[in-house]
Amino acid sequence: MSRTAPTPNSDSESTVTTLRTGFRGDLILPDDEDYDDARAVWNGMIDKYPAVIARCAGVSDVMAAVDFGREQELPVAVRGGGHHIAGNAVCDDGIVVDCSQMRSVVVDPKARTARVEAGALLADVDHETQAFGLAVPTGINSTTGIAGLTLGGGGGWLSRKYGMTIDNLRSVDLVTADGEFVHASEETNPDLFWAVRGGSGNFGVVTNFEFDLHPVGPEVLCGPLVYAHEDAREVMRFVRDFNRESPEDCVVWLVLRKAPPLPFLDESVHGTNVLILVAFYAGEMVDGEAVLAPLREFGTPIADAITPHQYTEFQQSFDPLLEPGARNYWKSHNFAELSDEAIDIAVDYAADLPTELSEIFFGQIGGATERVDPEAMAYPHRETRYMMNVHTRWEDPAMDDDCIQWARKFFAEMAPHATGGVYVNFISEADGEESLAYRDNYARLAELKAKYDPDNVFRVNQNVEPAPAADGGNGEPATDGGVDSA
């Protein structure tokens, strides 16, 4: 049974008035005309009713909204792009600190850096950085928010060459649970900087990110190779072996799904089970042609659409398959290698996908991502060479149970072949997978949570609970000093 929106009353209106004073953005309440649009997020399964949505215009608004939520003892959700699978951008009966209007991207082409506000989408970042032939290694869907992606890790086409998104993060500005504005980098508040690089949204509202940029494009060699499902086992084994020896400029992802109505596919293929290889080469075009030649010559593909693309265009090529509003449930594993057994299980399950919108993908990373100590920052999964996402997607609410159970069953069968780690941004629900996401870094995260957010104000996330105080005191661990303000 679905719940209804909270009913405003004179007391709640009076309380919100204290927040409204001096607030430059918009405060959206349950009886406002745009309330339903403002509480909607990418995953159509999420149907939450905040008491107030604080659409912030800047840092001062964020500070005020965090103070308000803490003082009123409300659940506090933080929204950037609103794309997270678990719907943590909204909450019931609490306050949403909505940064979606804060989308500035400022590039310094000489220093090769960019300062990016919390509400920016990957498309915003690509648009500004590619004007100078530069890029941040990010994800593969341009409507994803930079904030959530970065705080969880961030992996995509450029990761093998340049590392995870967090490996390219220089500093952050953020608002802590007590409403204080602080700066964090390797030099200033380094423990906090360690925590935000993979610790999800547990430590504050990041209002600004500073990234290193790298020369990319503007034109790159990339695109899909499509094979019939009956060839999937043989092709996946070949790609696994090909990927072991390929240079770090080269990335090949594997996608098992039903063929979408892509313009380069014959209509007779649409809706049939296929394996799609998505290849990307980050280096010189002529080198890419030579490196990808063995891949393109293997087997009998239905279609080969690998060709030069504008980088920004390719970053948006999967957006039509991930439009907002559909119902989504994900399960994820990390793999150090794809065994024959794992490939067999995946191919078998892909033959029986619960819907035409569902897919299983294996995103290749490794390379530069492996050359970072797993304790250097909160993100621990440095042995990972493939991030698997069981992306179950459907329209009819009556299919919820069937789709979720299918994904869970597949996840369980793949577990013996995986590393035991899970990418935090792919977790759909709080069901114990947090320990798989943070792994051996969880204990330190819990200690830092006790320092920066002892009351767990920021708990609408893949939560790290504050460690109990060692001395029975106020929740702060005995090991650290104060916080350097920005």
CA distances from 432 to 265, 400, 422, 424, 438 (A): 41, 21, 11, 12, 11
CA–CA dist 85, 424 (Å, integer): 10
* Each residue's pLDDT tens digit, 55-86: 999 999 999 999 999 999 999 999 999 999 99
What is the structure's pLDDT at 429? 83
Which CATH fold would you assign to the domain 10-98?
3.30.43
Helix pair angle (400-414, 340-350), 10° resolution: 170
CA–CA dist 273, 233 (Å, integer): 13
Start-end ranges of CATH 3.40.462.20 in the chain?
A: 219-430
219-430 has which CATH code? 3.40.462.20
What is the structure's pLDDT at 9? 45
What is the structure's pLDDT at 37? 96
Concatenated DSSP letters for 441-486?
GHHHHHHHHHHH-TT-S--SSS--PPPPPTTSSSS--TT-----B-
What is the structure's pLDDT at 469? 78
Amino acid at 245: E
Q: Which residue ranges in the chain fall short of pLDDT 70?
A: 1-14, 431-432, 470-486
Start-end ranges of CATH 3.30.43.10 in the chain?
A: 10-98
What is the structure's pLDDT at 7? 53
What is the structure's pLDDT at 11? 47
Q: Are 249 and 216 in contact (CB under 8 A)?
A: no
CA–CA dist 434, 436 (Å, integer): 5
CA–CA dist 150, 239 (Å, integer): 28
Q: Are 289 and 250 in contact (CB under 8 A)?
A: no
What is the structure's pLDDT at 419? 96
What is the structure's pLDDT at 3? 59
What is the structure's pLDDT at 13? 60
Cis peptide before 218 (omega within 30 of 0): yes
CA–CA dist 444, 424 (Å, integer): 17
CA distances from 243 to 100, 253, 408 (A): 38, 10, 28
Q: Which residue reads 């830092």 in tokens?
A: 448
* Each residue's pLDDT tens digit, 332-342: 999 999 999 99
What is the structure's pLDDT at 22? 86
